Amino acid sequence: MGLKGKMIGQTEIKGAGGDVFHEVFRQRPHHLANMSPEKVHGFTLLGGGLGTVGSVIQWDYTHDGKERVAKQFIENIDEEKQSVRFKMIEGDLMDLYKTFIITYHVDKRVDYNLVTWTFEYEKLNENIPHPGTLLSLFLHVVEDIEAHHIKKA
């Protein structure tokens, strides 16, 4: 099967939700704990500026019933594609994976937007699981952002 893998998941956001999603992740990630409190517990900017390439950020979150930590480096931002690429540099995932890159982008449609998460990773060994439950968590966070936005509108 191999140690390297790629997983892709998509979910729809109605109306201008794709713009809101990108803006939250790029400019207001510290608000995610209010939008998805059961999943995201905190955000810390460790270096750089909010929403800028080269920034180092830390997430405190719950995955598979356990509180976890992730430190990421923002590798790329593409405003036209509403896309951000994060490279995992420390945290719980790095106990399992040699490399872990997370990218999202928003495709705008007429009646909805499509948020796509892509995970590119290399497991430390064959016994490490593929990150399917983590991808599911990310897709549910998108739904929480949409529900929060619709509730406020």
Q: 17 pLDDT band (50/70/90 cuts)?
A: low
pLDDT of residue 138: 96
Hey, what CATH topology would domain 4-152 get?
Alpha-D-Glucose-1,6-Bisphosphate; Chain A, domain 4 (3.30.530)
Q: Residues 82-112: pLDDT tens digits? A: 999 999 999 999 999 999 999 999 998 878 8
For residue 64, count other CB atoms closer than 10 A to its CB.
9
All structural domains of the chain with their residue ranges: 4-152
